[in-house]
């Protein structure tokens, strides 16, 4: 895994936290009588968890939407968003072979662009115009390239939702079956004993 400074264009974390947490809580088995009444302590605990999750999601969103400003970090950021075009398949900022015919020139172009006061997008557009879209280390966020970014999260989100719905459906079906089943007190007691002994182990 190569370290890099590129800004993220997506923020899945907030939505994930908001969808999954209530679902998880709903899926919990009804608590024993002492817990079912849901004392103020428990309510506070859940409220705190919900607020903490929301605060984390908000913090992550703020972090992800921020960008770097000074020339040094811009240079570092941008040279990790570009590829060396010599055919070595290396990130421009990590191209490591001496005498590479392209990387030095590309890095100079990058420095000149920053010195001229061009924006990040203008610099990247200039590289794409000169070398083609393959010079970018990752697809852009417009046109067909956007599909590259959306598809993984869309598939993951759909699969997550599908799994939650499936588990709920199975658990409802299971409850209905057990409600119609004839209960044997001896077996129920044995099950409860096993459950107590294996709970959390």
> What residues between 23 and 52 interact with other proteins by CB under 8 A?
23-24, 26-29, 31-32, 35, 42
CB of 56 to other proteins, least distance (A): 10
Does 84 contact other proteins by CB under 8 A?
Answer: no
Q: From 102-110, 119-127, 151-159, 182-190, give the range in contact with other proteins by CB under 8 A.
A: 151-159
The residue within the footprint of other proteins, chosen from 18, 54, 68, 102 (CB under 8 A), is 68
**Which of 97, 78, 77 lies closest to 87 in space, CA to CA?**
97
Q: Which residues contact 110 (CB under 8 A, 6 or more apart)?
A: 75, 78, 79, 82, 92, 123, 127
The residue within the footprint of other proteins, chosen from 33, 37, 41, 70 (CB under 8 A), is 70
Does 132 contact other proteins by CB under 8 A?
Answer: yes
Nearer to other proteins, 81 or 106 (CB): 81
Nearer to other proteins, 30 or 185 (CB): 30
d(CA 71, CA 111) in angstroms, rounded, equals: 9
CB of 97 to other proteins, least distance (A): 7
Question: For residue 91, what is the DSSP state?
Answer: B
Using the structure block, give the residue that is written with the tokens 């759909």.
158
Q: From 106-114, 118-126, 134-142, 179-187, give the range in contact with other proteins by CB under 8 A.
A: 134-142
d(CA 1, CA 152) in angstroms, rounded, equals: 19
Whether 2 contacts 91, CB under 8 Å: yes
d(CA 128, CA 121) in angstroms, rounded, equals: 10
Instruction: Report the alpha-carbon angle 153-156-161, nearest 5.
Output: 120
Nearer to other proteins, 10 or 122 (CB): 10
Does 76 contact other proteins by CB under 8 A?
Answer: no
Nearer to other proteins, 94 or 109 (CB): 94
């Amino acid at each position: 895994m190569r370290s890099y400074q590129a800004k993220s264009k997506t923020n899945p974390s907030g939505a994930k936290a908001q969808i999954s947490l209530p679902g998880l809580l709903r899926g919990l088995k009804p608590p024993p009588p002492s817990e079912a009444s849901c004392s103020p302590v428990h309510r506070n605990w859940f409220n705190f968890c919900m607020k903490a999750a929301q605060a984390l999601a908000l913090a992550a969103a703020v972090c992800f939407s921020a960008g770097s400003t000074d020339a040094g970090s811009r240079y570092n950021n941008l040279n990790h968003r570009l590829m060396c075009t010599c055919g070595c398949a290396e990130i421009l900022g990590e191209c490591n072979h001496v005498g590479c015919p392209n990387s030095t020139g590309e890095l100079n172009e990058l420095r000149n662009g920053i010195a001229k006061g061009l924006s990040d997008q203008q610099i990247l557009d200039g590289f794409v115009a000169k070398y083609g879209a393959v010079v970018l280390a990752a697809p852009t966020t417009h046109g067909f390239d956007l599909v590259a970014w959306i598809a993984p999260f869309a598939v993951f989100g759909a699969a997550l939702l599908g799994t939650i719905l499936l588990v709920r459906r199975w658990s409802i079906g299971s409850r209905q079956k057990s409600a119609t089943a004839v209960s044997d007190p001896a077996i129920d007691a044995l099950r409860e004993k096993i459950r107590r002994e294996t709970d959390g182990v």
